[in-house]
Structure 1
Amino acid sequence: MSTAGTDGRSARWDEHRLARRRELVEATVAAVRTHGAGVGMDGIAASAGTSKTVFYRHFTDRAGLYRGVAERVDGTIIRGITRAAGAGPASGRGDARRVVRAVIGAYLHLVEDDPEVYRFIVNAPILPPGERPDGDVAAGMTTRIAEHVATILGEGLDGSDDPATTRLWGVALVGMVRAAADAWLAEGGAVDGRSADDLADDLTALAWGGLAGHAA
């Protein structure tokens, strides 16, 4: 049996497993949207039309499935932020402020459009105490988004030649927006209070007071 033949079958099997993982992640997201962030493995498996055993075969445990969904949500938020900020660096104070507003607005609109999925990631009700990481369960998501936001801010604000500074900007901005989004959802979101756009305007004004001095 040739090595090439074996490698080809192995590659096809790897592709099949990745495709199946993506299908199961999407099925989990659909179950969360339908049944809420507190849906359990039984509900997720039933929604997917399969068994919990199949999920565990592909993700090992609930923590593995949570990470798979978190990576999917990370990608959605990062793509949304990138589109909102636009291609290319900001040019001038007004455009730099627009980029900050676009980043904040994109994050909040994604929270508004998919609140149960956001709660699933931030609160991780699927993870029992023994399977939860120490500290903030959604720290990985926040860190990855902050790093991406730092890159966007570094292109439009003075100081981009200092990675430590731009990373701090990203962490501070995303941390502020996430805390505000969590409180906003807890208070009923746009249904019972201000809209995502109103909140984004307020947070932009707050953030820009500290960032305006660095505008390119």
Structure 2
Amino acid sequence: MTSPSATSRSGDGRAARWAGQRERRRREFVEAALRAIAEHGPRASTAHIAEEAGVARPQLYKHFDGATDLNQAIADEAALLVTSALRPVWELRGSAMQLITVAVDAHTGWLAENGNLYRYLSLRSHGDRNAVADVRTVIARQLTQLFEHYMTMFGMDIRIAESVAFGVVGLVDSCAAQWLENPRGVPRTELAALLIRWIWRLLDDTLRAGGVELDPHLTLPPPPPQPAL
């Protein structure tokens, strides 16, 4: 006769396997969604996603709690993709100008290659959940930590670090997003050069207001490792 504890363990095992299978299928459907968006554009439908995944539409919703849950999973994956593209910034060794250049090139490069995904996220914000804003916030929080480190090293007031970080991210994102929709003949390299110059001027002004004059090409001591995103 099977004991109650053995039955319980068996039930727990099945639940764990189901949870693992559901999570794996969710990841597969999100990857299919990214491919469908790249192919069909920002208005890719759940039908496109299901077709790309090779399943019937209703099967998608066995693994997601409706379209909002699916869209949020796509947004979460997009945030990971962007922050992964920017990882060289957090691991950079060099000068302030090198850091700015790498960050701008990574961000504008990702946007140029993933324009449809960016537009998809912009079109599918729900209520107080704004997928594009969520991505900006993830990047700005990481940048805040970086600014706090160097402001502390320079003896500056770190209370402004967050405002500066969000200002930089907002500048890059809004300009790059507008360029994506209407480049007006401006190549990405020219846009990046403009953004690099503007960001340095913003940072230089902030540093000077704090009594610091920094050569943008001076090699800086590396920051401590940042936590995984």
Tell me if the contact between 2:151 and 2:158 (Cα under 8 Å) persists in the aligned partners.
no
Find the aligned partners of 1:9 and 1:117 in 2 and give their Cα distance.
Answer: 36
Change in 2 beyond 3 A, CA 1:136/1:163 = farther
Match of 2:203 in 1: 211
CA-to-aligned-CA distance 1:15-49 (integer Å, 9 cap, x gap): 11111100000011111111111111222212221
Deviates more, 1:32-41 or 1:45-54: 45-54
Find the aligned partners of 1:60 and 1:72 in 2 and give their Cα distance.
Answer: 17
Match of 2:123 in 1: 123
Change in 2 beyond 3 A, CA 1:164/1:59 = farther
Verify: 1:194 aligned to 2:186, yes or no. Answer: yes
Find the aligned partners of 1:86 and 1:142 in 2 and give their Cα distance.
Answer: 16
Find the aligned partners of 1:52 and 1:28 in 2 and give their Cα distance.
Answer: 12
Find the aligned partners of 2:22 and 2:159 in 1 and give their Cα distance.
Answer: 38
After superposition, the CA RMSD in angstroms is 2.4
Find the aligned partners of 2:185 and 2:141 in 1 and give their Cα distance.
Answer: 30
Deviation at 1:137, TM superposition (A): 5.1
- 3-state SS of paired residue (1:37): coil
Find the aligned partners of 1:136 and 1:22 in 2 and give their Cα distance.
Answer: 21
Bigger radius of gyration:
2
CA-to-aligned-CA distance 1:132-156 (integer Å, 9 cap, x gap): 314855322221221122233444x
1:28 alignment partner AA? A
Deviates more, 1:1-10 or 1:24-33: 1-10
Equivalent runs, 1:35-184 vs 2, <5 Å: 35-83=40-88, 85=89, 87=91, 95-124=95-124, 132-134=126-128, 136=130, 138-155=132-149, 157-159=150-152, 164-184=159-179
Quick check: which one's helix share is greater? 1
Find the aligned partners of 1:25 and 1:102 in 2 and give their Cα distance.
Answer: 28
Find the aligned partners of 1:87 and 1:76 in 2 and give their Cα distance.
Answer: 16
CA-to-aligned-CA distance 1:157-186 (integer Å, 9 cap, x gap): 324786643222221111111101111011
- 3-state SS of paired residue (2:43): coil
Deviation at 1:87, TM superposition (A): 2.1
**Structure 1 runs (4+) greater than 4 angstroms displaced:** 134-137, 159-164
Find the aligned partners of 1:166 and 1:57 in 2 and give their Cα distance.
Answer: 44
Structure 1, unaligned runs of 5 or more: none
Change in 2 beyond 3 A, CA 1:138/1:8 = same
Residue identity over aligned pairs, in percent, reads 24
When the two structures are superposed, what TM-score results if normalisation uses the length of structure 1? 0.82
